[in-house]
Structure 1
Amino acid sequence: MATIRRKHREPVRPLQRDPGPWSRLVIDWLATLAVIMVFGLVMLFSASYTTGYLRMGDSFHYIKQQALCMMIGLGCMFVMSYMDYRFLRKMAVPGYFIVLVMLAVTLTMAPLNGCRRWIRFGGFTLQSSEVAKFEMILLCSSLAAKAPQIEKYDPARRVRVTPHTWFYVRVWKQLIFPVLPLLPVIVLLALEPHMSGIVLTVAVVGTILLLSGSGGILTWVGAGAAGLMLETLLSHVDSIPYLQDRLDGWTQDLSKMTDQTVQSLYAIGSGGLTGLGLGNSVEKQLWLPESTNDFIFSVVCEELGFIGAVLIIVLFVLFIVQGLLIAYRAENLYCTMVGIGIMAQIAWQVFCNIAVVTNTLPNTGISLPFFSSGGTSLILLLAEMGVMVNIGRNGERAAQQREAMRAQHEAAKAEREADRASRTIDLDAARRAREV
């Protein structure tokens, strides 16, 4: 009787004892992150001590919360830096259903300013959309990495790929299938409503698909069409009153702008080249709404001026470029796509936050990473940074293994050539020896 032999799979442990050696790139990336985090704490304290004293009776209210969440986040970062990426990939599907439950539970919570975005338990709050962004990075990367490639169907490019095969691979497996899990998340976020969460989640998933080559030219065409139609689509959104008010305030007319945008531009303009000095912002004295969160960059511009604002932008650009290099040197395609997704989340949040405070985009609730107050966002971001460290160390280990194998093959090849040379008879030398 024939028996079916199953391939033995080594069990995947959640944590790795040694993810791999530290590369210079990962160390430099962590140094840039440390500078950004310290810079963010200093600016948050400067932007929040007045608000904390007037509203909470404690000038250190916001900075104490942020420092506590940063300590928790650093602990999560340390744990995630040893989390095996194979375990994360294995848990991507169960984690997706957990996130859907969290988003559904969020809809049952009491509204705040007309929105339901936080799960409250005891004295703690959890913003489920932040968890959803991280989960969609893991799941979308896993689905896209498993998608077949056209080259595997036609490795030598000698046989023409049929239209049916091309459609199945390029459209269904590489494009539609990885995006399908995003739809329930978008629906649940729209019910909160949380439009900025939808924008960021869609942008991150789209970036993963674009930079991984999923869908080929179709993905790039779709992204370009979405960019060209963005303003047109936004101008026809009228189902959510508060969103429509913000879109109506997206104008160059100061008399029609929202109060937040007007005060933000005042802060940026009064900062000038060098700023008013650290701690000397006027707009943070309850003139500028959300000065500790969404509009903290305006306070940075007012106190540190154009020079300080450019310095922060350069730091973020350097941080993102270093992170993308870590991702592209990862051990496999899945790790590369996860790294791209994490860095894309940072990049999109920085871009959207700065675009909002400068009136380049309509007013949305998108925070500035590592600067804005917000416990859930900071903890999740630092956990993602731990995943990046794990990807970088595993990538360095794999690179060293490949280099060792290459050196071993070169040594074996040189040994074979030397052995072949030692066995080769030199006819001229043999004739001379014979004549003697």
Structure 2
Amino acid sequence: MKIDKRHLLNYSILLPYLILSVIGLIIVYSTTSALQIQKGGNPFSMVISQGLFWILSLVAMFIIYRMKLTVLKKKGLIRFFLLLEVAMLVASRFFDPVNGAHGWIRLGPGGIIGLQPAEYLKLLIVWYLAARFSAMQRDIQVYDYQALIKGSWMPKAFNDWRIVSLFFLGLVASLPDLGNATIVVLIILVMVTVSGVAYRWFSTVLMGLVLGATILLGSIRILGVDLVARIPVFGYIARRFSAYFNPFENATESGLQLTNSYYAMSNGGWLGRGLGNSIEKNGYLPEAHTDFVFSIVIEELGFVGASLILALLFFLILRIIVVGIRARRPFNSMMALGVAGMMLIQTFVNVGGISGLIPATGVTFPFLSQGGNSLLVISIGIAFVLNVDANEKRELWEEEIEQTMAKTES
């Protein structure tokens, strides 16, 4: 006897997702309509685009939720998407850069359809590493972390997670896309952590990354950002370091975004100026609808309103983590924890960037930023989690039925 998947849907994940998606559409309209009117365009154009991506996301979620997990774990399917991702990242090099990085593929008349390959790489890395590490569980239980690094760098690159990870990381860094490259590194760290290795290795690697980042920032601070600017590919990164160290020193150029982000948050206070009443979004704060959207949210809804949105987002992430912790199969557990880690990292990097805690990296805020690619990736990730949760519940339920029948027969 089998139970239909629709009865196993986890509403503690689905409902927060739907609420945040609707809030995101409202915020997208609020942050883009005034600028569109100034340009003489349709004030609803951006929110319509976001809405279409959301509809596409819902369709993709339905399809993925109904699929069997055995299909989603097939090497051939994962290999196909890995190769597709390579083609997209390479193709993006032939399109005009946006904010110093070749991160977009523009299709259709006037480039109306934009694809951002690095966004899809985040989830693809989670998917790939969950499949690889789940197949290595016996070795990990015996050899611990050595199971992940033992052996030569094999000619069969797909089977060596180190080659695949470094290859994609190199492609993203060469765009150059510092923000997404940073997120990919952190996602890989999360996946290695949840692979089954002892947690002491995670602590060691994390301390190494923190120490390395501290030394790097300290060195740039002492020697000056001009040292980084001399490297042709990373010239735009130097400007971001300059803004990070002292945004008010050059508030009209490299520090423009961060200083106006501070003004926006200061304007908001506790309760905000009211939805749609932001000052900074009217041409003062660049990227007000993407990278720095949460600054506008604070300005319009205040720290109270912004905190409630953050609380709902963290509740969603927490429920996904619970699915990963409760999952009994390694792939299911790693997939859920990887998606939760991806969302948590993206939130931290974005909020850290707009508040000056870390250098701004051009990373969008989940759900709220205008960007259909980001919304689609998050939606697909959540669909994976819902599928994992439903399958875990079904297996547990079927085992309980079998045990009950066995007791009845005896």
Which TM class, normalised by the smaller chain length?
Answer: 0.7 to 0.9
2:163 matches 1:180: yes
Question: Could you say which residue in structure 1 is the equivalent of 2:118?
Answer: 129
Contact 2:247 2:259 in 1 (8 A): no
Percent identity of paired positions between Structure 1 and Structure 2: 25
How far has the Cα of 1:337 moved from its partner?
0.7
What is the alpha-carbon distance in structure 2 between the residues aligned to residue 274 and residue 69 of structure 1?
31
How far has the Cα of 1:365 moved from its partner?
0.7
2:145 matches 1:139: no
Q: Provide the TM-score with structure 1 as the length reference.
A: 0.82
Match of 2:51 among 43, 55, 67: 67
2:97 matches 1:111: yes
What is the alpha-carbon distance in structure 2 between the residues aligned to residue 252 and residue 350 of structure 1?
23
Aligned alpha-carbon RMSD (Å) = 2.5
Distance change in 2, residues 1:172/1:18 (3 Å) = farther
Give runs of ≥4 in structure 1 deviating > 6 Å. Answer: none
What is the alpha-carbon distance in structure 2 between the residues aligned to residue 208 and residue 19 of structure 1?
31
Distance change in 2, residues 1:21/1:376 (3 Å) = closer
Question: Could you say which residue in structure 2 is the equivalent of 1:248?
Answer: 242
Distance change in 2, residues 1:49/1:97 (3 Å) = same
Task: Tell me the amino acid that sits aligned with residue 169 of structure 1.
Answer: A
Task: Tell me the amino acid that sits aligned with residue 45 of structure 1.
Answer: Y
Match of 2:303 among 303, 306, 314: 306
* Secondary structure of 2:106's aligned partner: strand
How far has the Cα of 1:108 moved from its partner?
2.3
How far has the Cα of 1:94 moved from its partner?
2.8
1:63-114 residue CA offsets vs partner (Å, 9 max, x unmatched): 1111111111111111111122222221112321221122112222233343
Distance change in 2, residues 1:110/1:275 (3 Å) = closer
Q: If you compute each CA radius of gyration, which structure gives the higher value, 1 or 2? A: 1
Match of 1:288 among 280, 285, 288: 285
What is the alpha-carbon distance in structure 1 between the residues aligned to residue 3 and residue 163 of structure 2?
36
Q: Which runs of 5+ in 1 are unaligned?
A: 1-16, 154-164, 416-436
Compare 223-232 and 276-285 and name the one that shifted more: 223-232
Contact 1:18 1:82 in 2 (8 A): no
1:315-363 residue CA offsets vs partner (Å, 9 max, x unmatched): 1110001111122333521021111111111111111111111111111
Distance change in 2, residues 1:120/1:402 (3 Å) = same
Match of 1:169 among 147, 167, 176: 147
1:28-86 residue CA offsets vs partner (Å, 9 max, x unmatched): 21111111111111122111111121135221121111111111111111111112222
Distance change in 2, residues 1:392/1:301 (3 Å) = same
What is the alpha-carbon distance in structure 2 between the residues aligned to residue 35 and residue 327 of structure 1?
22
2:370 matches 1:392: no
What is the alpha-carbon distance in structure 2 between the residues aligned to residue 289 and residue 18 of structure 1?
51
Distance change in 2, residues 1:152/1:191 (3 Å) = closer
Which residues of 2 match residues 182-201 of structure 1 at below 5 A? 182-201=165-184
Distance change in 2, residues 1:225/1:296 (3 Å) = same
Question: Could you say which residue in structure 1 is the equivalent of 2:5?
Answer: 20
Q: Provide the TM-score with structure 2 as the length reference.
A: 0.87
Contact 2:140 2:196 in 1 (8 A): no
Q: Which runs of 5+ in 2 are unaligned?
A: 154-158, 221-226
Question: Could you say which residue in structure 2 is the equivalent of 1:429?
Answer: none
Task: Tell me the amino acid that sits aligned with residue 63 of structure 1.
Answer: V
Question: Could you say which residue in structure 2 is the equivalent of 1:381?
Answer: 378
Question: Could you say which residue in structure 2 is the equivalent of 1:99?
Answer: 85
Contact 1:115 1:192 in 2 (8 A): yes
Match of 2:21 among 37, 50, 53: 37
